[in-house]
Amino acid sequence: MRRPSNVKVPLPYFLLVQITTIELTENSPGQKGISESDVCTSKPTALFAPTGGRSHTLSVAIPGSIVANAKSIEQKTLLVGIIARALAVFCVDEVVVFDDDGNSAQHDEYEQDYDYYDSPMARTNDQVNGTTPSKGYTAYSDPSHFLAHVLSYLETPPYLRKHLFPMHPNLRGAGLLPSLDMPHHLRANEWCDYREGIVISTVDHQKSRRGCNSNNYHHRNRRSNSPTSPPATVVDTGLSQKVVIPDIQLPEHARVTVRFSQQGPKHRAEPVHPSIPRSEAGYYWGYYVRRCRSLSSVFTESPFDGGYDLSFGTSERGAPLNTVLEEDGDEQRHHIHHNHTPEYKHLLVVFGGVAGIEAAIRYDPQLRDMAISPTDAGKLFDYWVNLLPGQGSRTIRTEEAVWLGLTGLRGLVEGTHRPKKSYRYNGSKAT
């Protein structure tokens, strides 16, 4: 039976409350007629805002065996994407991929590739982070290489990937992974004082192909083709026009960080060390990928002067993380912690694989020569911590532990917390 149109049906109470709340919000003073319905939440608005130079760094070490533990190709690729997202969200500066089992492939080439870098941020190369020694699919033959390869690909700005990463079986599923969208992944219409680029040519090389792509270069009418002209480098930074760096020649196909003047990208740019955006301006400028043969080489091959001055090892046999950290008593640090320099310079957090960090010690020849057994795993670190005591699942997967660990250590990284000296591991169980 149809209800007559003139009959009014009372609204439910919770709807009346909602309508009243909206009316009060729209008519309240200071709102200028803007209602909550006018707020656009469909597009991301969180932008990284640098607050000053940052000298301290955050490093994470992960075993390559976690890739071997995944069954299908899709699972292996998705696992790397999950870890890469954590590295980007928590502003990790360096990720170390180490071998933790006796079956890991040993490549003579990758030691030479990684020695090429004189710092964790010097990423100008023809072989990006050692991704070229193997031409085949390495997720089964060399899981550490696969992990380092895909992590390097995801960290690279999208407009540079086609130049630095040729087609490879390891990357066939990488296009389906979520974007990292880090501060240096700039769009063509976005402005920043710094940009990542790739050297596509030098002016001297243009003499033999003067008519090729010459319309894309800035200052193409300057006397650069003269035999007496100083050298110059042409860099693709993802902008609509290429950038010319005068008075310098860089290797072709090299990745380079450039800094523009405040007047805009049409003015001259200069190459800078890749750590400059972080150390001088405070930008998070991506993570550097380093591969190691063993757990001990994570420490001995550290690219930082003096190595890591603060290290955390993660294990279910460690002390609860919430008991190791204490809140800093300085209230000012809680309000301007981004401008505060923590007590450490280079922080390292090491995660284990399926069998834990202890397995990495078992297959490490250098640690065996030092008579360090798996039961002495905690001696390698300043703090030996349990990320989640009382876990409901029998195991915590490594990709889950990375998110848990970086979340738990967030206060330490920001300077609002500090580790208790009484829990500093000295070879005996923490009390």
CATH superfamily, domain 186-202+231-274, is Nucleic acid-binding proteins (2.40.50.140)
Residue 176, helix vs strand vs coil: helix
**Beta partners for residue 319, in sequence order:** 385
pLDDT per position as a tens digit, 47-94: 788 888 899 999 999 999 999 989 999 999 999 999 999 999 999 999
Pairing outcome for strands 57-63 and 94-98 = parallel
Q: What is the rounded CA–CA span in Å between residue 148 and residue 134?
A: 12
Residue that wins the pLDDT comparison between 155 and 8: 155
The CATH T-level fold of domain 52-105+138-184+283-332+339-430 is Alpha/beta knot (3.40.1280)
Residue that wins the pLDDT comparison between 363 and 25: 363
Residue 144, helix vs strand vs coil: helix
Residue 236, helix vs strand vs coil: strand
pLDDT given for residue 12 in this prediction? 52
pLDDT given for residue 247 in this prediction? 84
pLDDT per position as a tens digit, 192-224: 899 999 998 865 544 434 433 333 333 333 333
Q: How many CA atoms lie within 13 A of 101 on its CB side?
A: 19
Q: What percent of the chain has pLDDT over 90?
A: 54
* Amino acid at site 48: F
Going by pLDDT thresholds of 50, 70 and 90, the confidence category of residue 245 is confident
Model confidence at 373: pLDDT above 80: yes
Model confidence at 338: pLDDT above 60: no
Residue that wins the pLDDT comparison between 334 and 306: 306
**Beta partners for residue 244, in sequence order:** 234
Going by pLDDT thresholds of 50, 70 and 90, the confidence category of residue 340 is low
pLDDT given for residue 296 in this prediction? 95
The domain limits of the chain are 52-105+138-184+283-332+339-430, 186-202+231-274
What is the model's pTM?
Answer: 0.79
pLDDT given for residue 41 in this prediction? 64
Going by pLDDT thresholds of 50, 70 and 90, the confidence category of residue 6 is low
Is residue 228 within 8 A of residue 251, CB to CB? The reply is no
pLDDT given for residue 206 in this prediction? 45
Is residue 56 within 8 A of residue 342, CB to CB? The reply is yes
pLDDT given for residue 47 in this prediction? 77
Model confidence at 321: pLDDT above 90: yes
pLDDT given for residue 221 in this prediction? 33
| Mutual angle of helices 398-408 and 73-89, in 10-degree steps | 10
pLDDT given for residue 61 in this prediction? 98
Going by pLDDT thresholds of 50, 70 and 90, the confidence category of residue 256 is very high
Q: What is the mean pLDDT of residues 176-191?
A: 92
* Residue 4 CB contacts under 8 Å (≥ 6 apart), including other chains: none
Q: What percent of the chain has pLDDT over 70?
A: 69
User: Mean pLDDT across the chain, nearest whole number?
Assistant: 79
Residue that wins the pLDDT comparison between 211 and 174: 174
Q: What is the rounded CA–CA span in Å between residue 189 and residue 239?
A: 8
Cα torsion for 3, 4, 5, 8, to the nearest 10°? -70
Is residue 97 within 8 A of residue 292, CB to CB? The reply is yes
Helical spans, DSSP H, in 4-72: 13-27, 65-69
Model confidence at 291: pLDDT above 50: yes
